[in-house]
Amino acid sequence: MTDPSTPQTRQEGTDGPQSAPQASGGPEPGRGGADAADGGEGARTHDYGPGRRCWGHDFTIVRVLDGGRVSAMGWGPILTPRIRTGDYLLLDNRGSATRYQVREIAYQMDPPDMWSACLDFAPRTADPKDPA
């Protein structure tokens, strides 16, 4: 029996859901360490920027809201840890990457990697502690 708090993904060639692979041995290049709900230490950065969008790893902006907030839907990642509240998304914006922080995210049942999210504009800073 799996832990209900563990993200579940369906991987090609398997008969059922499996736990998403977890990073080991520290942060991956360009990513934070362990997950953090506040976007601080440990928030991951998921790259949907220029040249990174493809089948199964894409997004669309559904609505632009006031205050630098957007509503988005997307797919992926499949083989890396799921996007969580507090993580950052680099989104393609006419050939350059714009960074948003995940305020809320919900995954769909089918397909299991499809998500809808509320994102806050989060420009990069020169702070070396900044995860992206």
Query: Quick one: three-class SS letters along 53-113?
Result: CECCEEEEEEEEECCCEEEEEEECCCCCCCCCCCCEEEEEECCEEEEEEEEEEEECCCCCC
Give pLDDT, residue 19: 33
Give pLDDT, residue 40: 60
pLDDT mean for each 10 residues of the chain (132 residues): 38 32 31 44 89 89 95 90 95 92 95 95 78 58
91 forms beta bridges with 48, 98
Report the distance separating Cα 121 and Cα 101, nearest Å.
Answer: 6
Q: Where are the domains of the chain?
A: 30-121
Give pLDDT, residue 22: 31
Give pLDDT, residue 123: 93
Give pLDDT, residue 42: 84
Give pLDDT, residue 80: 84
pTM: 0.65
Bond prior to 111 in cis (omega within 30° of 0) = yes
Give pLDDT, residue 127: 65
